[in-house]
Chain A
Amino acid sequence: MKRLGLAFGLLFLWAPILLMVVYAFSADRIPFQWGGFSLRWFAALAANERMREAALLSLRIAAGAATLATLLGGLAGWALARFGPFRGRALLGALAGAPLVLPEVVTGLSLLLLFVLGQGAAEAVFGWAPGRGAATILLAHVTIGLAYVAVVVQARLAALDPSLEEAAADLGAGPFTTFRTVTLPLIAPSLAAGWLLAFTLSLDDVVVASFVSGPAGTTLPMLVFSALKIGLTPEVNALAALFLALAALFVGAAGLFLARRANGAG
């Protein structure tokens, strides 16, 4: 009974995805129609200039946003987990938690209004304002990513055995050495997980990016979204297969790494 439920759920989750991957290799112009094996849609994807440009922009924004979000979110998680009760703690917690629960349209619209007012103020003071585009998307994605990183890091720090750090201090390590040799290696996996989460969220976001972007910044999800509004194209199909292959490769590599580490440690 339990197994049946699990099998049904997994089938529901995976059937559309797997079918899509299979048909990505179909030569037919109509998606989900078999016209013999072919790699032509992957070739078409690689030759699509706009797609390539948008993908490059998205990857750059995602990498930058994830890195900044990990730094800022790590600091926020540290403050929340380690500073005990302090003035502003409730505020920090509420603000760091907000992007997790706010509807995307609210986050997108409110950030856009901030950027527009900021542009207006810059124009009034300097006579010139930077345009909206990659930079504003980056700022928005850092904010969202920060929230996720803070949660992950705070949870990890709270679960840490304090005796490890105390032992380092007892053995004469200063606070910085303790942090570098004991704490940091222990929270590194959560920092990596947070970075990856922020990276994925940025690469997946179409709503917030559409609000805060200008005419210069079209990310890959924005491009795919406008294509899907008309219908599924075989190129998007191929793109999905590519995404899944990359994700599977990554999870496989991470699994191998973790298994090896567990073997080495145990």
Chain B
Amino acid sequence: MRRLFILLPPMLWLLLLVAAPLGILGLIAFAEAGPGVPPFIPPLGWAGGPVWQGSSESIGTLLADPYYLEAFLRSLLTAFVTAALCLLLAYPMALGIAGARPPWRIPLLLLVLLPFWTGFLPRLGAWIGLLRDGGWVNGMLGAMGIGPLRLLYSDLALYLGMVHAYLPFAVLPLATALMRRDLALEEAAADLGAGPWVVFRSVTLPLSLPAAASAFLLVFIPAAGEFVIPELLGPPEAQLVGRVLWGEFFQNRDWPLAAGLALALLVLLLPPILLFQRLGRRG
């Protein structure tokens, strides 16, 4: 009885605000767009009994128009590059934190995480101010006789913003795993005559691979659906899924198409999400 009182409130909340919305999303993806408010005809009607009046037009549009396919490919590529860059930067950082003397570890970790608390949008604002035409970076480059360069609204700005926003997510699992590692294994390898590079390559690196995979996915999954960073920093032609979905919803008011895009994104991200959860359970 007491268990029910504990279980029921969160269960009902999640059924109503997580499960039901996803179900509705799947349904509306098969609705027909209409001029009313809300701008679609419910796919399940009622005329003496339930009547199916949906259409697969939106899904058809998604599959037929290369614009959408391109957006998905571009999103996956952007997310992949972002996650790879984050991993490349995060690994030495995590090694540095794990290799620091114990009283320094938590403050160093905090130093990595604190930018997260300064707000996501203000940090993007900093990149806008630094990179815009006639901005700080162009001023510095000008003093060295270079430029002016078009930096803002470019792929460079997009990736700087993405890596800056997601880097802390990659450092955290790696640093935790490297701090927990058994140093005796590395000492044993060194005692057996392995040089520092061989020890790293044959002991440290393989043992940290699950954490590295977690870190990669922790960046890749949200980056694939990212809207704000490409919108504020990226080139106008960088039409990633998040931006396309936003446009279909807010500008074109084509809700079924937006729902179809969301559904497709979800299906695409399901394998990495399941992989991430499996890694989490093992770690």
Contact = CB atoms under 8 A, between A and B. Distances in A.
B159 interface: no
B164 A13 contact: yes
Interface string A217-258: 000010011001101100011011001100110110001000
Nearest to A245: B118
A92 B167 contact: no
B7 A92 contact: yes
Contact of B19 (A2, A5, A95, A116): A95
Contact of A105 (B22, B28, B227): B227
A109 B38 contact: no
A101 interface: yes
A75 interface: yes
A16 B120 contact: no
B130 to A, nearest CB: 6
B11 A92 contact: yes
A20 B117 contact: no
B179 interface: no
Contacts of A207: 227-228, 242
Interface residues of B, number: 84
A199 B17 CA distance: 19
A117 B269 CA distance: 26
B129 A32 contact: yes
Contacts of A255: 107, 110
Contacts of A224: 121-122, 125
Interface string A105-137: 110011101101100100000000000000000
Contacts of A76: 10-11, 14
Interface residues of A, number: 83
Contacts of B116: 200
A234 to B, nearest CB: 9
Given A103-B224, A106-B25, A113-B259, A72 B129 contact: no
Nearest to A79: B7
B90 interface: yes
Contacts of B122: 20, 224, 236, 239-240, 243-244
B13 to A, nearest CB: 6
Interface stretch (B53-61, B94-102, B141-149): B94-102
A113 B97 contact: no
Contacts of A32: 129-130, 135-136
A162 interface: no
Interface in B1-58: 3, 6-7, 9-11, 13-22, 24-25, 28, 38
B114 interface: yes
A73 interface: yes
A264 interface: no
B126 A72 contact: no
Given A6-B93, A20-B129, A13 B11 contact: no
Given A9-B90, A103-B266, A247-B118, 8 more contacts: A5-B89, A10-B112, A72-B9, A75-B7, A103-B224, A109-B249, A211-B249, A237-B129
Interface of B: 3, 6-7, 9-11, 13-22, 24-25, 28, 38, 89-93, 95-97, 99, 107-108, 110-112, 114-130, 132, 135-136, 163-164, 167-168, 171, 221-222, 224-228, 231-232, 241-242, 245-246, 249-250, 255, 258-259, 262, 265-266, 269, 273, 276-277
16 contacts: A5-B89, A8-B89, A9-B92, A10-B93, A10-B112, A12-B164, A14-B115, A71-B9, A92-B7, A99-B18, A114-B20, A116-B38, A140-B17, A236-B122, A247-B117, A255-B107
